[in-house]
């Protein structure tokens, strides 16, 4: 049975707080690429990109990372690669990697592996909406919307509205 952990208004507050932390960090926006991890990090990265643009007036670069080929938790036939969308040079750039939920850290590790194949960024920072803890690899978010503790027998799922533009709710499933 699905249990709603955060409803729409609470999710909006989490995203607003996360975006405020990112804006306060004072990235060099001319050197910043916001990169959402497909699938779950796409909507949050789009929303954060819009909030940064609205707050600063600067339209930094936006891309997406597909970790399909870099996963280490599935030894079966890989799903179809959705392809990383990074149509610009990342050498010397500051990358803000965005995902919806972090737990083991393995997804982020795979995303970093994928990014490195495209070049050598100046830095990689990590922003997540939800941090569940329980790392299996030494990866820690630089920006966190909300830390929660939930038994590892449950998944945390971020659900979007029908247009994939707004995060509707966060569930324990």
pTM of the complete model beyond 0.85: yes
Q: CA 172 → CA 1, 102, 126, 140, 153, distances in Å?
A: 8, 14, 23, 22, 10
User: Minimal CA–CA distance to 149: which of 103, 110, 98, 83?
Assistant: 103
Question: Domains of the chain (ranges plus CATH)?
Answer: 3-172 (3.40.50.2020)
Tens digits of residue pLDDT in 49-93: 999 999 999 999 999 999 887 656 655 545 554 577 778 999 999
Ranges 23-27, 79-83, 93-97, 129-133: which has the least confidence: 79-83
Q: How sure is the predictor about 94, in pLDDT bands with cuts at 50, 70 and 90?
A: very high
């Amino acid at each position: 049975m699905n249990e709603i952990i955060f409803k729409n208004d609470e999710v909006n507050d989490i995203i607003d707080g996360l975006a405020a932390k990112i804006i306060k960090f004072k990235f060099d926006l001319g050197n910043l690429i916001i990169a959402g991890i497909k699938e779950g990090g796409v909507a949050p990265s789009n929303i954060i990109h819009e909030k940064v643009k609205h707050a600063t007036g600067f339209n930094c670069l936006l891309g997406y990372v597909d970790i399909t080929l870099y996963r280490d938790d599935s030894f079966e036939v890989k799903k179809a690669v959705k392809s990383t969308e990074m149509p610009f040079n990342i050498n010397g750039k500051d990358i803000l990697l965005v995902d919806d939920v972090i737990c083991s850290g393995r997804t982020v590790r795979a995303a970093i592996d994928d990014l490195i194949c495209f070049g050598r960024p100046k830095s990689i920072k990590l922003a997540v909406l939800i941090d569940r803890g329980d790392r299996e690899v030494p990866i820690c978010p630089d920006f966190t919307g909300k830390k929660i503790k939930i038994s590892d027998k449950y998944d945390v799922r971020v659900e979007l509205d029908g247009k994939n533009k707004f995060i509707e709710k966060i569930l324990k499933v």
